[in-house]
Amino acid sequence: MPITTCIFDAYGTLFDVAAAARIAAAEPGRGDLAKVWPQIAQDWRRKQLEYTWLRAVADQHCDFWQVTQDGLDWAMEAAGLNDPKTRERLLALYWELPAFPEVPQILAGLNARGLRCAILSNGSPEMLQAAVDSAGIGEMLVAKMSVQDVGVFKPHARVYDMVGARFGCARDEVLFVSSNGWDAAGAAGYGFQTVWVNRAGDPVDRLYAAPHHIMADLAAIPGLC
């Protein structure tokens, strides 16, 4: 069936999660952070995701903001950085992450062709609304779906079920786009057409399914619809 619905992961796909550490490190008086910000950005994201998986397996769900804070605390300790003001600043910046440069144009193009565009994210509704508002892309999204409504993190099938429940579409009508290889694989196994936005050029995860398409950014997405 033709694609009718384009579903995007949020963090790392539409929004640049490394921007918080990068922006803070460039501010005056943050020399200690400037020395280690790439490590902190990488570790922060890695632990944030690991904590979602572990909580899902243990049936210990929490708000995504909690795992975001927990991941940052681990990353800062690993980097030997103990500065409450820097922690506060990094967390504040996470609520206003910029979109990647190509995002507004891609969403506008998909909208112009009559495709429904929406977010499906681990993020809480409040976090997603803040990011969308900050990036100025709200008018191009018909929904911002959060795992908070089903009480488990990706890649649980209950999360992907939210798309059909919201839009009444068949699975093969959905193009699911994520910067996380495991998320794209999970969605592919569920039955969506999937794109892995592999900005870092990482190897494909060895899982029960694989992404249908791999791209370096979002630019080629309209060609699939």
Active site residue 9: yes
Distance (Å, whole) CA 18 – CA 24: 10
State the CATH architecture for 5-15+97-224.
Answer: 3-Layer(aba) Sandwich (3.40)
3-state class of 5 per DSSP? Answer: strand
User: Looking at the chain, which runs of residues are DSSP E strands?
Assistant: 5-8, 116-121, 143-146, 174-178, 193-197, 213-215
Torsions phi, psi for 108 (to 5 deg): -65, -40
Residue among 9, 16, 43, 183 flagged as catalytic: 9
> Which CATH superfamily includes the segment(s) 19-94?
Putative phosphatase; domain 2 (1.10.150.240)
Contact 121, 147 (CB under 8 A): yes
Q: What is the pLDDT along the chain (225 residues), one digit of tens a residue?
A: 799 999 999 999 999 999 999 999 999 999 999 999 999 999 999 999 999 999 999 999 999 999 999 999 999 999 999 999 999 999 999 999 999 999 999 999 999 999 999 999 999 999 999 999 999 999 999 999 999 999 999 999 999 999 999 999 999 999 999 999 999 999 999 999 999 999 999 999 999 999 999 999 999 999 888
Strands 174-178 and 193-197, sheet pairing: parallel
pTM (2 decimals)? 0.95
Q: Where are the domains of the chain?
A: 5-15+97-224, 19-94
- Dihedral angle sign, alpha carbons of residues 43, 141, 215, 187: positive
Distance (Å, whole) CA 61 – CA 17: 22
pLDDT of residue 19: 97
pLDDT of residue 78: 98
Which two tokens mark 45? 């994201």
Q: Which residues pair with 118 in a beta bridge?
A: 7, 143
pLDDT of residue 225: 85
Distance (Å, whole) CA 199 – CA 214: 10
